[in-house]
Structure 1
Amino acid sequence: MTLADGLCWIVAAALLIHGSANTAGADFARRAFESFGYPKWMLTTVGLAELTAAALLLYSPTRGIGVAIAGICLIGAVGTLARQRAWREMEYPAILLSLAALIGLDVGGIV
């Protein structure tokens, strides 16, 4: 297993957990999306995107698509938290976004 494979498992596990909570409509997730002013359907849509990204990250031929979807979700999370000035809550998605970027560099053959 390479370092990139390990990073994929870490990011996929985080997306699986968070995507499952979003898709199931967990109370904390629903309250967060409502406080950000997002429509109700967005919680499920983001959750499904996160679950899809998690699955695609684990299979090498689809890793590029998975990291792109993960990146979009994580940029959205970081952007939303920055707009809300929720700096302490931004650490987790920012770290995941950094890991996704490293995976993207590996998929692109840059690293």
Structure 2
Amino acid sequence: MNKGLRILGYIALVVLAGVFVMAGFNKVSGAEMMVQTFEGFSYPTWTMYLIGAAELLSAVGLLIPRTRVLASGVLTFILIGAVGSHLIYGQYAAVPFPAVLLVANIVVLIMGMRKLEAEELDMDLVQV
């Protein structure tokens, strides 16, 4: 992979992590908009704090190569829930943002898994 593309990928990861830092912080700090959203979904308030903490931890995990796949996997499940919740409750205008994040996380997940497979293949070749 060329150096420019690699730098662009890291910038995208930092931006993605930043989005989840902001979203997670809004949840764990009990921002009024988040409280209203979770109450509108009839979800218990503790789920907002749990999801916010998972988003914060996963945002950090995205920036660490060893934990990137796990972090993007966790965020993918959270985003599937977010998209689904907005669809179920008829909040169609709110769907595009988590849907775009979902696609971005799936891309990170696939790329991370491909890298792990390539490393595993290299290890198999070294052992032979």
TM class by smaller structure:
over 0.9
> Over alpha carbons, which structure has the higher Rg?
2
Change in CA separation of 1:4 and 1:99 when aligned onto 2, cut-off 3 Å: same
Report % sequence identity. 27
TM superposition shift of 1:73: 1.1
C-alpha root-mean-square deviation of aligned residues, in Å? 1.4
Q: Is the 8 A contact 1:7 1:103 kept in 2?
A: no
- Kindly report which structure 2 residues correspond to 1:1-111, keeping only aligned pairs within 5 A, or say none: 2=6, 3-109=8-114
Name structure 2 gaps, 5 residues minimum. Answer: 116-128
Cα separation, 1, equivalents of 2:32 and 2:64:
31
Cα separation, 2, equivalents of 1:96 and 1:10:
11
Cα separation, 2, equivalents of 1:94 and 1:23:
22
List per-residue Cα deviations over 1:38-91 (Å, max 9, x = no partner): 001111001001001101000111101110111111111001001112111111
Q: Which amino acid aligns with 1:89?
A: A
Q: Which amino acid aligns with 1:101?
A: I
Cα separation, 1, equivalents of 2:53 and 2:31:
14
Name structure 1 gaps, 5 residues minimum. Answer: none
Q: Which amino acid aligns with 2:93?
A: R
Cα separation, 1, equivalents of 2:97 and 2:53:
19
Q: Which amino acid aligns with 1:81?
A: H
Alignment size in residue pairs: 110
TM superposition shift of 1:5: 2.5
TM superposition shift of 1:7: 2.9
Q: Is the 8 A contact 1:53 1:67 kept in 2?
A: yes
Q: Which amino acid aligns with 2:110?
A: L
Name the SS of the counterpart of 2:55 in structure 1.
helix
